[in-house]
Amino acid sequence: TGKPGCAVVTAGPGTTDAITGIANAFRAESPMLLIGGQGALTQHKMGSLQDLPHVDILSPITKFAATVPSTERVADLVSMAFRECFNGAPGPSFLEIPRDVLDAKVELSKARIPQAGHYRASTKLSADPVDIQRLADLLVKAERPCVLFGTQTWTCRASDTAREFARTLNIPAYMNGSGRGTFPPGDPHHFHRTRRMAFNQADVIVIVGTPFDFRMGYGRRLGSEATVVQVDMDYRTVGKNRDISFGLVGDIGQVLASVLAATTGTTDNGAKRRQAWLDELRAAEQVAYEKLMPSFKSENVPINPYRVAYELNEFLTDDTIYIGDGGDVVTITAQAVQPHQPGHWMDPGPLGTLGVGVPFAMAAKYVHPEKEVLCYFGDGAFTLTGWDLETCQRFKLPILGVIGNNSAMNQIRCGQINKYGAERGNVGNLLGDVEFEKFAEMLGGYGEAVRDPKDIRPALDRAREAVRGGTSALVNIWVDREEWAPGTRNQTMYK
């Protein structure tokens, strides 16, 4: 929605149970407020029920964490916490409200009650005009530029501006994180499988709204001869982990629009002469796609997980919100699944938090009841929060779940085999052969198992009909545990 969420939990274990969600929001730059309980101030340090130093625990993974000291300050501190959620790149805040503060009553005249829409600035900041013009001039002259749109493109609701930016200047665009879906499949400026080639050969690389973290090889995978420009909402991200030519800090939409406007005064923005560069990348895209086709079309049993990814992409509609929850489940489907709209791709994010699938799907269906919500789980990931499928059923939030079942935490297994050999590689990562389709049936939903690749699409179609009928569905697809994504085989996430 672009609006901050709020969760209210009890003290002690209620708050600690929420820590992983807060940590995930912190790394994913997602605004939310967690309100936790606490023993009475009069019992401070006396060992009250569920007493813990919540603020100390949560301060490192929030943008703001505080104890509400009095009932008069509750509303004031709530507005302060929400305001801090939007300080630079978004993130979570935490408030601890002691029991006696909650129980007390005060005269309304003694409390400050901030008004909705008036407690924080609505200004969207742009970057320094000098840097705006500098980037505009650079792009106009560039022969082989490329741009990567990251999560903040969606955070700032800048997808329309991003498309106009790439199309007007005729620049190949790549996406990661929640930036996926900025361009629809088939868009001539949407590139997918040639990112390494583009980064190696580009003369100008613009990184928009994503950090130089492990997903970007900490910035080391960018061509050494390229001019690298980073655009981000948070000044602390710009230039972190690698030097850049220069950086711009501000709202992504405002910065892109300003740069685009600054190019309009030129008689030639370079768009035509860059067509050969786009054609070269497009040809390489086709070659890369054809190399994947044997896996995408594999008839092997157990089923090749690339075949599942291919079938899921073919199955998506324009309105399907796609969620990936797992290790290789996300790594492999990222090579095949292309959401049709902005905001229609969700995954565990940079924290790599497994178990996000059912909660994400539940929230997406609640906000968009008219849309199909499809979540592809690894079997290990599903076991973490799968019981909340019952919550989906109870609240009439039908989701379509697909499980890639290899009876293993397989991304971990691959790393262990590489490091310790086959004999010790299976320690602590093998799971049972669970018939998850029966779990769905137990909850009153629709369940179906698939062991042959030719049965994948028919099973998905039947699951879709069940969801349209008002019940959640689980398709349990048995996949080959000896197939991994190249990044998993090479353990690039740790390099």
Could you report the per-residue pLDDT of 167-204, keeping only the tens digit for each? 999 999 999 999 999 999 999 999 999 999 999 999 99
**Mean per-residue pLDDT of the chain:** 95
DSSP 304: P
Q: Which long-range contacts (CB under 8 A, 24 or more apart) does 222-230 make?
A: 223/199, 226/199, 226/202, 227/138, 227/203, 229/135, 229/138, 229/204, 229/205, 230/206
Percentage with pLDDT > 90 across the chain: 92
Could you report the per-residue pLDDT of 360-372, keeping only the tens digit for each? 999 999 999 999 9
Whether the predicted pLDDT of 319 surpasses 80: yes
User: In 3-state terms, what secondary structure has residue 456?
Assistant: helix
DSSP E strands in 326-472: the ranges are 345-346, 373-378, 400-405, 446-450
Could you report the per-residue pLDDT of 218-268, keeping only the tens digit for each? 999 999 999 999 999 999 999 999 999 999 999 999 999 999 999 987 789
Round to whole Å and give the CA distance between 31 and 61.
Answer: 12
Q: How confident is the model at residue 43 (pLDDT cuts 50, 70, 90)?
A: very high
What pTM value is reported for the model? 0.94
Question: Which residues are registered as beta bridge partners of 64?
Answer: 93
Round to whole Å and give the CA distance between 163 and 331.
Answer: 25
Domains in the chain, ordered, with CATH?
5-110 (3.40.50.970), 129-284 (3.40.50.1220), 297-494 (3.40.50.970)
Q: How confident is the model at residue 495 (pLDDT cuts 50, 70, 90)?
A: low
Instruction: Average the pLDDT over each of 180-189, 312-321, 483-492 and give the range with the smallest value.
Output: 483-492
Instruction: Average the pLDDT over each of 110-124, 233-247, 337-351 and give the range with the smallest value.
Output: 110-124
Q: CA angle 192-322-213, nearest 5°?
A: 55
Question: Which residues are registered as beta bridge partners of 378?
Answer: 404
